[in-house]
Amino acid sequence: MLSRQVAEALRKRETPYYFYDIDLLRQTLESVVSVARKYGFVIHYAIKANYDPHILEVIKEYGLGIDCASGGEMRCAIEAGFDPQGIVYAGVGKRDKEIRYAIEQGIFAINCESIQELGVVDAIAGELGKVQNIALRINPDIDPKTNKCIDTGQADSKFGISYEEVTEKLDFIRSLKHVKVSGIHLHIGSQIRELHVFEYLCAKVNSIVGHLTSLGLDFDFVDVGGGLGVNYDFPENEPVPNFASVFAIINSHLKVDGRPVHFEFGRAIVAQCGELITSVLFNKTTATGRKIVVVDASMTELIRPALYGSYHNIENITSQAKERERYTIVGTACESTDVFDEGITLPRTQRGDLLTIKSAGAYGMSMASRYNLHDLPGAVYSDEL
């Protein structure tokens, strides 16, 4: 996170851009890796959270596998030097060429999300003369108690296969010659802060594993997905997420007969190390008295507030003013939802001040767009200042 010194160094750069605190990223990785080692858990980084090459380089040093959501993500991971043998690939809509690429690369598992997909993977693996390891992504029907836009685990969701369908189609699944069911996969949602949700997940997994085994379906590993949330309200209070708590819950509640347990964390690894740095362009006051600060970033650099109503803590890192005022912070895009925050109190803020929009390392840059033909934002790294 930003010290005054860093803020001074940042003043000279052209805004908006992402600033990454690489020390914090390393601390986070050390924490996740050391606690996971204690229990023998396997960690994949959900690359959709951030594809920045420097970030990937650092993550690679810590030996994490990768979780992908597309052929493009797989290619990015492999080109960045990650071992295909550590890659899992989920997604409700995999194109044939993406499935073919995954099989050719020999990835660890394709996490299949429909019975029809299993048949297609089988056919393509057959054409290639291979047997592909897959995991069945089962929808466990659990409420992850998070923003409904990022909830994936409830019965009506587009993600995963219902458990009923898996058991109904077991003969079909067993009949496939070029697909080996090597795992069970579940992912119930993102930004999960109520950790007891992971206890419900364990209970569901235990019953699924017990039942499938009694039906004679054997498999090697269980992948419980990602979803661990971060503290957006007070990032300084919790710069490194509480991996120890979630791992302790999983370790004490999950009963999978010694099978390796995999996780796919995105946000928890990269959210807190990234901040979006933006300059104030203009101040104005609406007819209703609302004080508006227009910054040079927008939803094209960070779409989370506009898309999900997400909160990001914002600070003015250059103002020396003693007086504080209430502001609405808006971006430059031609969209009414392009608002970073409303009614926040900051030191008097004016043209040229630098603001930081915190906890933006996950799903910030990776969701950036060129709407309004904005340039994509650049990146500045603490270890290159």
Give residues in contact with ligand LLP (CB under 6 A).
Answer: 46, 49, 67, 90, 150, 187, 190-191, 225-228, 264-268, 304, 308, 362-363
Q: List CB contacts of 27: < 8 A, sequence separation 6 or more.
A: 239, 240
Q: How many CB atoms lie within 10 A of CB 34?
A: 12
Residue with Cβ nearer ligand LLP (193 or 348): 193
Please say whether the beta carbons of 272 and 24 come within 8 A. Answer: yes
Residue with Cβ nearer ligand LLP (15 or 152): 152
Contacts within 8 Å (CB) and 24+ apart, 86-89:
86/44, 87/44, 88/44, 88/135, 88/185, 88/223, 88/262, 88/264
CB of residue 363 to ligand LLP, shortest distance in Å: 3
Radius of gyration, CA atoms only, the chain: 22
CB of residue 67 to ligand LLP, shortest distance in Å: 5
The pairing of beta strand 87-89 with beta strand 109-112: parallel
CB of residue 340 to ligand LLP, shortest distance in Å: 14
CB of residue 77 to ligand LLP, shortest distance in Å: 14
Residue with Cβ nearer ligand LLP (10 or 360): 360
Residue with Cβ nearer ligand LLP (228 or 277): 228
CA distance linking residue 194 with residue 250, whole number of Å: 14
Q: List CB contacts of 168: < 8 A, sequence separation 6 or more.
A: none
CB of residue 215 to ligand LLP, shortest distance in Å: 25
The pairing of beta strand 274-285 with beta strand 17-20: antiparallel
Q: Minimal CA–CA distance to 328: which of 293, 371, 288?
A: 293
Please say whether the beta carbons of 20 and 274 come within 8 A. Answer: yes
CB of residue 128 to ligand LLP, shortest distance in Å: 25
Residue with Cβ nearer ligand LLP (67 or 122): 67
Residue with Cβ nearer ligand LLP (138 or 362): 362
CB of residue 302 to ligand LLP, shortest distance in Å: 9
Residue with Cβ nearer ligand LLP (327 or 377): 377
